[in-house]
Chain A
Amino acid sequence: MTAPQACERWTERVSAYADRECGPIERVLVRMHLGQCARCREWLEQVRADEQAFRAAYLGAEDEDDLTPAVMARVTGETRAQERRAARRTVSTGRLIEVLVVFGMLAILAAILFPVFARSREKARQASCSSNLKQLALGTLSFAQDYDGRLPGTVTWRDDILPYVQNEQLFVCPVAEGGPVTYSINPLVAGRNLKDIEDREGTVLLYEVDRAGQPVFPHNDGANFAFADGHVKWLSKRQAPESLQAIGFAPPTRNYGIAEQLKLAYEASIEVIVDNLYASVLQAEAAVREYGGFLLSSQLDGRAGCASLTIKVPTAEVGNVINVLGTLGFVAHRQVTGEDLTGGYVAAQRTVERSGQRAERLEGMVQGMAEDKPRVAAEETLGAVEAEGAQAAGQAWQIDARTTLATVSATLLQGEGEPQPSGVIASFVAAARSFWLVLRGLGSVAAWVIVFLPIWGGAFALAWWALRRVTRPAE
């Protein structure tokens, strides 16, 4: 049955009314119409009846197997798969972090340990060097005992003590970098008698030098020194200058076994940065006089902040003068050059001697000859021989003069001066310095272990925990 044609405009409203989809006013209007129109009431009943029949038929018809087990099996399966994926993501992310933490710990440990290992190796080399010096010092002192207390000379030192130490390897320091480093006897004590050295405990006997013979500090910014009483000690670069002043540079004045007529000419230049320029110039001039030298020229320029001194000193004292000038301030530059004139001096001396002998012979010949041509020729020859002898004597005298007096050029520069801490800061700095010296005294490896033990312990514990986490099988 269809909806009546007369109520066609109400059909849709009744359908919506049955579905409870009308607004309040429309609902009232539909109810009023339903009260008057039997056909629309019939349409409404049909709609409701069809709906009930439809629902009852379909919902009743589908009363078959339960879908719940099948659906829930898939839901549960997918849930577990999702959980596994999430867990795998979490585990892999976690493990990555743990591995990174382990590597970080290892990097920190390496950064801490490698310098310690490097210091340990350097310590071992330092110990080996110290042993070398100890044996060389004993050999040197044994030599002195055998020669009435006289120490070997600078040039012959190595050959002199080799029979006592019986090992050439001892003369090479086992330093890793900056080599080769060898050893030298202090020129200030070389050739002297041990009885003349009052403070044997504080006088350097042997020290480390480079190929040019200059003092070096190859071991942890310091060097080993053997003293005249036989003991060996490591001194830092800061501590060394006091001892190095005793080393300094001194030309060999007495050379046993080589040549008594050694003629060496020296020229030295030194550049010192001083705090008080004028006072330093006065001190330098006084030192020069003290060592028997004289001032060839002196130029003080206060505005430019520099002073230039040209000094002549006895060759034997050039080392002492250089050392004293070095104590005026910070040595910025120091150079000593020597020239060996022995050969020229010996040749000139021989020429003088030979010329004298020939001249004497010619003089006898001239006196016995009559005044004729041969006598004139002999007199000319005699004159030439005497001239040659005079020239050689002049050369010898010049060489003697050059080797007697050395030239020292000193340049003094006005410096800023190091600001000195005072009061609490000074005491704090002193305390910190003492603490650091104590730590170094404990030995570098032991000190590092003690200082970093808490850090190492924590780092190892963390690394162990992380490794346990990494090696644990995944669930």
Chain B
Amino acid sequence: MTDAQVVRQVLAGNADAYALLVQRHQRTAVAAAHHLTGDREAARDIAQEALVDAWRGLGDLRDPAKFAGWLVGIVRNKCRAFLRERHTGDVPLEDAPLPSVDPPGPQDGPTLEALRMLPLKDREILVARIIGEMSYAEIARSTGTTVNNVRVRCCRARQRLRELMAEAGEAGERS
């Protein structure tokens, strides 16, 4: 059963069918939230809230097949609100690197460490693209920008990520 079919069932009154959507997309939601906030515990709470909010606003979903991208959009908005509450520095929120809340675990490779150092805007786009599997057009629509802008920023984020990974690798070699 596709996401679109499940969404239609839920809208028809079968609330239990929503469990299928939760099972399918909870990891995506948690991963996106964790990636955007850097806080594993907060990410789980945010993901849970986002899933409940998604159920409440399921009637507003234009294309039921795009449930995953829509859910990541909700997660992103919640994460921004969460970070805005927590952020107190002089640097604008969009440019601030993610504060290290979680202790680096054994599962965190150089990719994730470098990703954390990216500004919030770049992180959002990469998370939406890779975890949410959203197209450039969907990302542009949810972030309120153009497709070309998303395309350029996605490329720059990848370049920046690669630079950060290279720096991290050199630092590791030196140490």
Contact = CB atoms under 8 A, between A and B. Distances in A.
Interface stretch (B61-69, B80-88, B90-98, B126-134): B126-134
Given A53-B109, A75-B52, A61 B31 contact: yes
Nearest to A8: B159
Interface string A373-393: 000000000000000000000
B111 A53 contact: yes
A60 to B, nearest CB: 7
Nearest to A51: B130
B167 to A, nearest CB: 11
Contacts of B6: none
A58 B136 CA distance: 21
Contact of B15 (A19, A53, A55, A79): A79
B52 A47 contact: no
B155 A16 contact: yes
B18 A47 contact: no
Interface in A428-465: none
Given A1-B162, A16-B155, A58 B112 contact: yes
A304 interface: no
B34 A21 contact: no
A62 B48 contact: no
A161 B135 CA distance: 118
A285 B167 CA distance: 143
B22 A57 contact: no
Interface residues of A, number: 36
B26 A54 contact: no
Interface string B116-142: 000000000010011100011000000
Contact of A68 (B19, B34, B109, B165): B19
B174 interface: no
Interface string B149-164: 0011011001101110
Contacts of A51: 130
Contacts of A195: none
B159 A2 contact: yes
Nearest to A74: B52
Most buried by B among A3, A64, A68: A68
A71 B155 contact: no
A50 B166 CA distance: 12
B47 interface: yes
B35 interface: yes
Q: Is the interface of B mostly helix, strand, loop or mixed?
A: helix
Given A46-B162, A58-B34, A12 B151 contact: yes
A66 B107 contact: no
B60 interface: no
Contact of B44 (A50, A61, A63, A67): A67
Question: By CB atoms of chain A within 10 A, which of B19, B105, B111 has the most?
Answer: B111
A70 interface: yes
A334 to B, nearest CB: 84
Contacts of B79: none
B15 A76 contact: yes
Interface in B1-39: 15-16, 18-19, 22-23, 26-31, 34-35
A346 B73 CA distance: 125
Contact of B130 (A54, A75, A79): A54
Contacts of B29: 67
Contacts of B151: 12, 15-16, 21
Contact of B112 (A57, A63, A72): A57
Contacts of B15: 75-76, 79
B173 interface: no
Nearest to A60: B107
Given A54-B112, A54-B126, A58-B131, A19 B48 contact: no
A58 B31 contact: yes
B56 A11 contact: no
A76 to B, nearest CB: 6
Contact of A75 (B18, B108, B109, B162): B18
B154 A59 contact: no
A41 to B, nearest CB: 15
A71 B107 contact: no
B75 interface: no
A67 B48 contact: yes
B51 interface: yes
B135 A67 contact: no
Interface of B: 15-16, 18-19, 22-23, 26-31, 34-35, 43-44, 47-48, 51-52, 55-56, 105, 107-109, 111-112, 115, 126, 129-131, 135-136, 151-152, 154-155, 158-159, 161-163, 165-166
The 10 A-B residue pairs whose C-beta atoms are closest, nearest first, are A15-B155, A58-B31, A12-B155, A67-B26, A62-B30, A79-B15, A53-B111, A71-B51, A68-B22, A62-B31
15 contacts: A1-B162, A2-B162, A11-B159, A57-B108, A58-B34, A59-B27, A60-B107, A61-B112, A62-B30, A62-B31, A63-B27, A67-B48, A68-B23, A72-B18, A78-B56
Given A21-B135, A47-B158, A55-B130, 10 more contacts: A15-B154, A16-B155, A21-B136, A57-B112, A58-B31, A58-B34, A62-B31, A66-B23, A67-B51, A76-B15
